[in-house]
Amino acid sequence: MKKIPLLSISLIFLSLILFCFSCKKEDIDNVFPVVKILGENPMEILLNSEFDDPGAEYWDDVAVYSSRIDSDLDVNKIGSYEIDYIVLDEAGNETIATRIVDVIVDQSSFESAYGVSDTISSGPNEGIHNYSSIITPSASFKNKLLFSNFAGLGTSYVAIVEFNKIGGLTIPQQLLSETQDSLSGSGMLAKDGKSIHLDFSITYKDGSGTDIGKATCLKIDMLEF
């Protein structure tokens, strides 16, 4: 019987080991799934509107094992939210793509009749006052609102209030009447859009333009009817 040299056996054995090792190495999947968000990102939607998720596309070089969506989105509250599209392949490689959704307001979010309760800390109208006010959009500017009967001072007192898309309110310095009463202030729409908080001050003047007093409102809560 012809004997196989020991060196040849060793080489054959080493080749088998290297072959098995290379096969095992090729089986390791280090490629992560690819996730493509569809539609706008970031995306804006109006408060209390429906959210139609454009979704996401995903693929993997081998196979996708699972996919899911996680989100804290609340369309009934102003704010910035995240939607996570999570994809896992069979090797356990996970990819997360995130869409930012901002719930915002426009003029229609404010338009209504309101019941108002304010506290004037000083000035001619010092005390607690309850009255009604109507907020209507400005026809000339998309970021402005008109408050009638502002501070309960009568229908001739119409205040111009500016707002931003997250509900912040600014009352720019303005004149409220023929007697040159001036107003300024700031505030915020509640996150649920159901009430408004404002701080403001009014400087009262007589017909000659002389200061005759100042009203400082520490709090004005406008509760929607």
Same CATH fold, 107-224 and 30-104? no
pLDDT of the residue at 64? 80
Selected residue with higher pLDDT from 20 and 190: 190
| 43 has pLDDT over 50 | yes
Lowest mean pLDDT among 31-35, 50-54, 98-102, 194-198: 194-198
CATH of domain 30-104: 2.60.40.10
Quickly state the pLDDT bin for 15 (edges 50, 70, 90). Answer: low
Grade residue 24 by pLDDT with cuts at 50, 70 and 90.
very low
Window from 68-77, 97-106, 170-179, 191-200 with minimum mean pLDDT: 170-179
Q: Between residues 123 and 148, which one has the greater pLDDT?
A: 148
Per-residue pLDDT at 30 exceeds 70: yes
pLDDT, tens digit (0-9, with 9 covering 90-100), for 154-189: 887 889 999 999 999 999 999 877 667 888 899 999
**What is the residue extent of each domain of the chain?**
30-104, 107-224
Pick 222 or 29 by higher pLDDT: 29
The widest CA-to-CA distance across the chain, in whole angstroms, is 131
Q: Looking at the predicted structure, is the pLDDT value of residue 12 above 70?
A: no
Neighbours of 54 (CB within 10 A): 11
- pLDDT at position 225 over 50: yes
Pick the CATH number of 107-224 from 2.40.128.420, 3.40.50.300, 3.40.50.2000, 3.90.1170.50: 2.40.128.420
Dump strand ranges (E) for 105-194: 112-120, 127-137, 144-147, 159-163, 168-175, 182-189
- Cα 20 to Cα 24, 46, 55, 63, 211, distances in angstroms: 6, 60, 42, 24, 95
